[in-house]
Structure 1
């Protein structure tokens, strides 16, 4: 059995039917704090060592949870910074779970995590924990994270999560400097057997710059190899901000590629289109990598922002895409990274510079 099926509830959520991008996001990322003990080279949040004085209070956080329960996104991910830097993090998980939300947690591999009780994390309602491995060796990962010992703590955390029967997702950020480690990353995944390997294609925001982007041709080679693993590896595979992996899957596997474990449901999800990000101070953006201020949950209901803000509405429109993304027959299932387009060109509707594919001008692939 595929390891991704080891947690029936989370797998059920990931593959569930979806009733449309216009009404609600599929994924809500809530940055409950920006505080973190690490100093990662490409941190989106440019995390700091101390909590921000204007973070959402506990009362405001509880109200937000009630509002999100009304919105009913299939997945809520508590992230940061390091969410465990908030002492009430698991209380927020319990509240969200009691409100009917499916909750994931994305902690940093720090001493704080090593002191945590993984059975308690699961009992609080966390359905999946995501951990980052951005170097395939102790030396390269610790250099990326800016603190020694993070590689060993991450490996230990994976094993402790497995022991607590807590579903694990491993996130790997691909950059120009670590792309040469791809084979080693792959071997490590076969060793660790997470439920999901999520490969994040770098976006130039926060501490990451355009010079850190991998070459598009190299990305294509990696995606082709990843596509060959789908359905064969003892873990599911997906990409973050690497939406053209869906195009590679369909090209490789035909129509059936849309239903394979590497193709996250629903199709066409991207920044602002099925994705909503809420910052530690309540600012709502189309994603954490597309940091536009579209409103604040202190003043507006997140559902109203997602449904009615002009930027969200435009990002959900496949026909609003520019360049070759707007002409591409895969635009309804991919649409490119709006965050990377913005980070490189300043235009969130420009073509994704990380994709080498040239459209065939033959209409759109039907979802």
Structure 2
């Protein structure tokens, strides 16, 4: 079962960024040009929840058959009409699941959306439904990009994640089919304590598959993923710094780790000689292991370094929205705050008027250190993780190590104020 999420599809939009994030006339972190209060940047549609896999980290319960109340073909076309009614640039659209290839009308929906001016990408599961013939059909229907999941550098690790033997080998095989059809290939990987030390070898595998982008997902403890071992805050900081280092080898996207944007800004400040706190300069044991292992496997530097792709400042409900197989709308697939149904109300009205979406677009009103953080408009913390760990989607992200100066001052003054 796929786990597509906020920035799950490649983009080449020339978005504007604040002056303090610019370096050499290129943004360190990109922000969306249009008003995200009125239009999302990307919309994920879970076209079905049916899937043959039983992935350990999936947010959804396994369903081997489509729900009888999932959006029909006509309801799906109405949704695509709504999304296509936005002014240019229209939201990016990703068909995910479950396994979207479980829908027999998938090509019809893809063609319909494409003809309406939408950029449609796909995130299928690696099952017997993923065939060269089906990939060709979807490419002919207008599919632009294709993502697959790879959660281990070996068949043993990946197949254990996915619940079926042979999935690793089939994923590597399917990558060649996808590239041959001219899709932009993206590989999605979930990081946990169990597989993180395979990350350098996984990177080598991803590069060898011809992927244009590596989408890395920090586990949110929801659904079946609640039983897995999520990385500690210190480990996450090490991993995000390592990902920043290797972004000259492959385009990097992070999901449920918006702190990557903060790290990108802080690392640029350090390169430009701006003094940074010790906690920015500090690297732990995991960072050094990942760095040394990457050098051993791939060399100290890439033969043809690429310009690092600036991360996009998009977050749950703030430029991003998720629509499930029944038509219910959420800020994202890992934040179970129901905001309405496209069966009852047009999506564009839900996105603008939902109190939950509106609250998520006011980061200065987030609680704890996220609310006073100088990076909250670029980062904002993982709202899904905050909800999963505290029960409050506006709470401070417990997995972030950064201590904003304003928060430190508040904590220092708190006893005196109480006294």
Are the aligned partners of 2:83 and 2:91 in contact in 1 as well (CA < 8 Å)?
no
Structure 2 unaligned spans of 5+? 1-8, 17-31, 273-306, 409-419
Aligned with residue 336 of structure 1, among 369, 381, 394: 381
In the aligned structure 1, how far is the partner of 2:194 from the partner of 2:227?
12
Query: What is the aligned partner in structure 2 of residue 12 from structure 1?
Result: 12
Are the aligned partners of 2:10 and 2:213 in contact in 1 as well (CA < 8 Å)?
no
Query: What is the aligned partner in structure 2 of residue 164 from structure 1?
Result: 181
Structure 1 unaligned spans of 5+? 1-8
Aligned with residue 351 of structure 2, among 287, 306, 314: 306
In the aligned structure 1, how far is the partner of 2:351 from the partner of 2:231?
32
Change (3 A) 1:38 1:15: farther
Query: What is the aligned partner in structure 2 of residue 189 from structure 1?
Result: 206
Query: What is the aligned partner in structure 1 of residue 278 from structure 2?
Result: none
Instruction: Give the 3-state SS of the residue equivalent to 2:45 in structure 1.
Output: strand
Query: What is the aligned partner in structure 2 of residue 3 from structure 1?
Result: none
In the aligned structure 1, how far is the partner of 2:143 from the partner of 2:270?
34
1:264 CA drift (Å): 2.9
Query: What is the aligned partner in structure 2 of residue 236 from structure 1?
Result: 251
Answering whether residue 368 of structure 2 is matched by residue 351 of structure 1, we say no
Query: What is the aligned partner in structure 2 of residue 125 from structure 1?
Result: 142
Answering whether residue 43 of structure 2 is matched by residue 28 of structure 1, we say yes
**Normalising to structure 1: TM-score of the pair?**
0.90
1:74 CA drift (Å): 2.7
Aligned with residue 84 of structure 2, among 69, 75, 78: 69
Query: What is the aligned partner in structure 2 of residue 87 from structure 1?
Result: 104
Answering whether residue 265 of structure 2 is matched by residue 250 of structure 1, we say yes
In the aligned structure 2, how far is the partner of 1:65 from the partner of 1:126?
14
In the aligned structure 1, how far is the partner of 2:12 from the partner of 2:228?
39
Answering whether residue 376 of structure 2 is matched by residue 319 of structure 1, we say no
1:14 CA drift (Å): 7.2
In the aligned structure 2, how far is the partner of 1:13 from the partner of 1:108?
27
In the aligned structure 2, how far is the partner of 1:90 from the partner of 1:256?
47
In the aligned structure 1, how far is the partner of 2:74 from the partner of 2:134?
26
1:28-67 equivalence runs, <5 A: 28-67=43-82
The CA RMSD over aligned residues, in Å, is 2.1
1:153 CA drift (Å): 1.2
Change (3 A) 1:256 1:70: farther
1:10 CA drift (Å): 5.9
In the aligned structure 2, how far is the partner of 1:14 from the partner of 1:131?
26
Query: What is the aligned partner in structure 1 of residue 226 from structure 2?
Result: 209
**Normalising to structure 2: TM-score of the pair?**
0.79
Are the aligned partners of 2:262 and 2:379 in contact in 1 as well (CA < 8 Å)?
yes
In the aligned structure 2, how far is the partner of 1:360 from the partner of 1:210?
35
Are the aligned partners of 2:10 and 2:186 in contact in 1 as well (CA < 8 Å)?
no
Spell out, residue by residue over 1:167-208, the C-alpha distance to the aligned partner (whole angstroms, 9 max, x if none): 011110111221221222222223223111010111112211
Query: What is the aligned partner in structure 1 of residue 318 from structure 2?
Result: 273
In the aligned structure 2, how far is the partner of 1:192 from the partner of 1:216?
30
In the aligned structure 2, how far is the partner of 1:289 from the partner of 1:189?
25
1:352 CA drift (Å): 1.2
